[in-house]
Amino acid sequence: MIRKRSDQEADEKPRRLPSGAALMQPGVTDALTRALFEEWGEFGYVGLSLERVAQRAGVGKAALYRRWPSKRAMVADRLEVVGIDLAPLIDTGTLAGDITAVLLQLRRVLRHRLVRRILPDLHAEMQRNRDLAHDVRGRLQIERRRRAAMVLERAIARGDLPATVDTKLFNDAVGGLLYWRLIITRERADRSYIDGLVTFIIAGLLPADR
């Protein structure tokens, strides 16, 4: 059977992707992420509108919904990605140096204008929204606490701390004390405060007879 010329030309032409198979462009995802946190900081989680997020990002709603089917899904995903990316680990060679590096990095995050608005709102909403709380306390919290625990693992390997050190206590102290000062009481956390906090945390980790 001889094929028609029109059929041959159709085969030679590049095929168009279906509209629903559009590639996920990183630039669009980044713009949507920035817009999400700007909107959240302004209106809170309850008042957060994905339509306004897309509008602020300068993209269509379809681009947003191809990535996340709901507000909760977008919030959980973006918090996880951004939260983990903002938690690098620095090996300074000493326990005091490592804890100082962790606290200084956390201080930079907690000083951000949007973080200062969003975190209290997030924690309040988590008390009302079990599904959101489950999402936030999932991989993000586990991964961040795992990374912080690596500081202690290095210290144990160097002989700076005993293998019986309380990892949970360390995680609570590093995150909780600085969060309380910067977000709740809104007091300063200068370098003198950070140095004192490092001394306090190490003293709590060491055995009483040491």
| Tokens (6 digits) for 81 | 């990605």
Q: What proportion of the chain, given as a percentage, has pLDDT over 70?
A: 85
Tell me the domains of the chain and their CATH numbers.
Answer: 25-70 (1.10.10.60), 86-205 (1.10.357.10)
- Please, which residues have CB within 8 angstroms of residue 147's CB and are 6 or more apart in sequence? 87, 89
Task: Report the alpha-carbon distance of residue 101 to residue 208 in Å, rounded.
Answer: 25
> pLDDT tens-digit profile of 139-179?
777 777 787 788 999 999 999 999 999 888 898 898 899 99
86: exposed, middle or buried (C-beta count within 10 Å: 0-12, 13-18, 19+)?
A: middle
Separation between Cα atoms, residue 18 and residue 98, nearest integer Å: 50
Distance CA 31, CA 53 (A): 9
In single-letter form, the type of residue at position 193 comes to Y
Q: What is residue 19's predicted lDDT score, i.e. its pLDDT?
A: 40
Cβ burial 134-165 (10 Å sphere, 16+ → b, else e) = ebbeeebeeebbeebeebbebbbeeebbeeeb
Label residue 17 by pLDDT band (50, 70, 90): very low
Residue scoring higher pLDDT (15 or 192): 192
Greater confidence, 83 or 113?
113
DSSP string, 113-176: HHHHHHHHHHHHHHHH-HHHHHHHTTHHHHHHHHHHHHHHHHHHHHTSS-TT--HHHHHHHHHH
Locate 71 and state its tokens: 């507000």
pLDDT in tens, 20-47: 434 568 789 999 999 999 999 999 999 9
Contacts for 181-188: CB closer than 8 Å, 24+ residues apart: 182/107, 182/110, 182/111, 182/116, 183/110, 183/116, 183/119, 183/120, 184/120
Tokens read off for 125 = 């909403």
2 pLDDT exceeds 60?
no
For residue 11, pLDDT beyond 50: no
